[in-house]
Amino acid sequence: MALLEHIPPIGVVWIVALALTLPASHSMAHSDVWLSVAECGASGSDFSTVASTTDGSQQIVVEGVGDFKVGQGVMVSRCNIHFIGGRLWGPSGQHAKNKPIETECEYRGYDGTKGSWTPYVVDIPNVSPPVFRWSDDLGRTWSEETPITEGWHPLSGGVEIKFGEHDWQQGWVITFAGRDQLVSVIERIEGNTLTLRDAANRTVADAVVRHCDDAAIQSAVDRAGAEKRNVYFPPGHYRLAAGITVANPMGITLEGPNGVDAVLDISEGEGACIRLRDGTEATLRNLCFVGGSGFDQRDQMGHLRTKGASGVWGFYFMHCNALGISNTERVLVENCHARRMSAECFYSAGRSRVGDKEPEQYTKAITYLRCSVEDCARNAFNNNDMAENTSVLNCRVVDVGGCTWEGASRFVKFCGNYVRNGGTVAMGNVRSRAEHYEHLPTGQHLVSDNVFESGVCYGGCQVRAAAGAVQVLVTDNTFVNFGTSAIEIIGQADNRHLTAETSTISGNVIDLTSFLEEPQKRWAVMVTGSHAIVSDNQVYVRGETDADVTAIRLREPAVNISVHDNLIRACGTGILAERADSRVTEVIDERTFTALPSARVHFERRLSHRYRGWHVVWLENGTAVGESTIEDFDPDGCRFTLREPRDMKVNDAFEVYSPTGTNWVLHSNTITDCTAPLVLDCYGSATAVARNNTITRGQATGVEQAVLVGGRFSLIGNIISGFDEPESATLRLRPDRLGNPPPNVYRDNIFEGCCNVLDAEALRLWQAATTSGNEFIGCANQP
């Protein structure tokens, strides 16, 4: 009391507030605030024992009773043969469509010899007469194709399947799983005999009995919600056969003692360890989550290569998450750690704003703070909705077989994290061209202050904005020994996606030195989406120049691109600008056509230039054979309309360019030790310019040219030095795509110590350009 007398009144208030936030282990005096799951019967025990079971009997005889108690849940392996999850996928061409199996087929006979949990995938290609093949290891191996006939067909593990009357030749997939686990409750203990609520259906001598705490934990969560209390998990190993649902949380906290000692283990169960549904606010803190499928099973849990239906993912059939969020308004997840999850570890899916319309209940803020995801088969963090204000902060992701982050959501911060051998930080991924996404866009992201090490195992690139993402900032990140591509802003868009655009990539330090066993072609930054700034980045390879590396890759038809103040060293290609091509897929009339959805020519947004006044260059075998002008692009029907008729046919190849200006400015960059420092092999425009760049050969050898210009691109005020190899040309100039000398401006450049300023073909194009104020210092052959 003497100490309290010296604390001002505000200090007393602070102490009381702190006490109200402390978990129950700190003081039993706060039991009115905290409810321990142990009070509701959760054991938190990892004890297990061997037991013998008898078909039809509720009694099992165990080797040791251990800490089992009457009323506790148990899971008993090998004694309860049954099937789960029968579904029919298809027909072919209807992606991910599926329904429960009814009369289409029958299956029987699972004997458990293939394991306690064996998914079966029966793949029926789109052929006639119908045949099938099957897999019992989620697509790693497949049987030979067998004709579908009447009667029973053997699979493995005693399983047989019989096909009913159905249009099998259209292409389908059948999935189901055999299990032998019994989940029950102890009703009586007499010596070494446990009497369970449910009977076994199989006689075995080697069943394994474990605690099962999900029902007790669910009871604690329900009670805490009703009593306006929080839930505390004492140190323990809590096994789950099913996930825990927190329905309509109104400020509840679920908390363990630290980030190590409270483990929720769903390796023998299905679902999310914890699922939040609706409500206003929930906090999870100091919990560990364990599933049943690690990084080494990423192929089995990924997209299965079936010949029948598509959109069949392996994790559907052994599904587990750490956390699922559905429409809870505010969520904080702090110091929580997930291992061996088959599906997205931390996952959100629910309603969102659509234009001016705001649903009554949706997720408005999720924060993941100091969490980790390691050794998991699929994604680490995933918002499969347009939830707002998700922040992934100071987290660790290592050995994750899917995306590190996948976010269709709005206003995301992915900051201060460490990632090694994970998948892409994927922004956008919205499969829709709905007009409301142009009124209230999605995919806004800030990706900053992260460390990415070694490369990606899934997705091909570490940070990518695509399919509708806008207002993307990728800043101040560090890439260490990176053996795959680093950053991409992908503008390609088809009849199911909007373009990704409006981005800033700045302040990143990208070390593309690879120590992978099989080196890959890769780039530090790739931009094919419009309205992009790429600035103040360092891109380099340690040691010798790496021919597999491109520092910055730009592609038409993107517009409004500014690339400046980047330092590029020892890359095969420094800055590359290239054309985009496509093909005609349907001729509507003599002026209207549709194009290849997956091609590099974007299907533009409604609020864009829509290619009005742009030119189409028609190609045959890579050579221009004609030119047209685009009247308009229909962003709803995804059709191009020409101003004048043209005789078109399906598969005609074409490229597009703007005759008025694409506004590409490359300035104040330093490029050294590269074998192809600056390659401008694109249409360009009157507003495309490379100015005030410093380009030196450095230690690179076998350099064909310092700068290649293959279109409308002006060079102003650049310093180009040291390209003194006898076979090298400092400038390699080429006609444009139509064979004409581009009316470029080459002014105020300094060429120093170069053997051949121009190659033989370039001289004619140099003379056709506007040239003035260029200086040649110590150059043997100059114009």
Q: Give burial (CB, 10 Å; 0-12/13-18/19+) of 449.
A: middle
Longest dimension (CA), the chain: 103
Residues 218-253 have pLDDT tens digits of 999 999 999 999 999 999 999 999 999 999 999 999
pLDDT at residue 685 tops 80: yes
Residues 159-175 have pLDDT tens digits of 999 999 999 999 999 99
Residue 367: count of CB within 10 angstroms of its CB: 17
User: What pLDDT, on the 0 to 100 scale, is given for residue 22?
Assistant: 52
Rounded (5°) CA angle 296-298-303? 155
pLDDT at residue 463 tops 70: yes
Compute the half-sphere exposure of residue 468: CA atoms within 13 Å on the CB side of its CA. 24
**Residues contacting 492, CB < 8 A, separation 6+:** 466, 499, 528, 598, 599, 600, 602
43, 211 in Cβ contact below 8 A? yes
Tokens of 206: 């080697």
- Mean pLDDT, to the nearest integer, of 310-319? 95
342, 291 in Cβ contact below 8 A? yes
Amino acid at 735: P
Residues 30-48 have pLDDT tens digits of 578 999 999 999 999 999 9
Three-state secondary-structure class, residue 644: coil
Tokens 């100039």 sit at which residue?
733
Residues 263-278 have pLDDT tens digits of 999 999 999 999 999 9
Confidence of residue 585 (pLDDT cuts 50, 70, 90): very high
User: What pLDDT, on the 0 to 100 scale, is given for residue 13?
Assistant: 40
Mean residue pLDDT of the chain comes to 93
Confidence of residue 384 (pLDDT cuts 50, 70, 90): confident
Residue 48: count of CB within 10 angstroms of its CB: 17
Whole-angstrom Cα distance, residue 6 to residue 19?
19
Among 19-28, 145-154, 453-462, 463-472, the range scoring the smallest mean pLDDT is 19-28
Nearest to 769 by CA among 750, 783, 752: 783
pLDDT at residue 568 tops 90: yes
- Mean pLDDT, to the nearest integer, of 582-596? 94
Confidence of residue 4 (pLDDT cuts 50, 70, 90): very low
pLDDT at residue 79 tops 90: yes
Instruction: Give 139-163 as a DSSP string.
Output: TSS-PPPEE--SSEEE-STT-EEEE
User: What pLDDT, on the 0 to 100 scale, is given for residue 5?
Assistant: 36
- Mean pLDDT, to the nearest integer, of 450-459? 95
715, 688 in Cβ contact below 8 A? no
User: What pLDDT, on the 0 to 100 scale, is given for residue 356?
Assistant: 84
CA distances, 502 to each of 240, 468, 550, 601, 667 (Å):
45, 11, 22, 17, 19
Tokens 């102003």 sit at which residue?
716
Helix (H) or strand (E) holding 16: helix 9-21
Tokens 């394991």 sit at which residue?
115
**Residues contacting 41, CB < 8 A, separation 6+:** 71, 72, 215, 216, 219
Phi and psi based region of residue 136 (left: phi greater than 0; alpha: psi -120 to 50; beta: remaining) = alpha
Tokens of 443: 């995919």
Name the CA dihedral angle for 641, 642, 646, 648, rounded to a multiple of 10 degrees.
-40
Sign, Cα dihedral of 668, 673, 674, 677: positive
Whole-angstrom Cα distance, residue 415 to residue 405?
12
User: What pLDDT, on the 0 to 100 scale, is given for residue 12?
Assistant: 40
626, 649 in Cβ contact below 8 A? no
Whole-angstrom Cα distance, residue 646 to residue 738?
18
pLDDT at residue 18 tops 70: no
pLDDT at residue 581 tops 70: yes
Pairing of strands 623-634, 664-667: unpaired
Cis preceding linkage at 557, omega within 30: yes
Three-state secondary-structure class, residue 168: helix
Residue 765: count of CB within 10 angstroms of its CB: 21
User: What string of H, E and C letters represents the secondary structure of 580-602?
Assistant: CEEEEEEECCCCEEEECCCCCCC
Rounded (5°) CA angle 465-467-468? 90
pLDDT at residue 328 tops 50: yes
Nearest to 281 by CA among 323, 250, 243: 250
Whole-angstrom Cα distance, residue 157 to residue 321?
28
Confidence of residue 130 (pLDDT cuts 50, 70, 90): very high
pLDDT at residue 599 tops 80: no
Find the radius of gyration of the CA atoms of the chain.
32
Residues 692-730 have pLDDT tens digits of 999 999 999 999 999 999 999 999 999 999 999 998 999
Nearest to 53 by CA among 240, 241, 209: 209
What percentage of the chain reaches a pLDDT higher than 70? 96
- Mean pLDDT, to the nearest integer, of 109-114? 94
Whole-angstrom Cα distance, residue 389 to residue 178?
41
CA distances, 651 to each of 518, 604, 655 (Å):
36, 21, 13
Helix (H) or strand (E) holding 436: helix 436-439
470, 437 in Cβ contact below 8 A? no
Three-state secondary-structure class, residue 129: coil
553, 546 in Cβ contact below 8 A? no
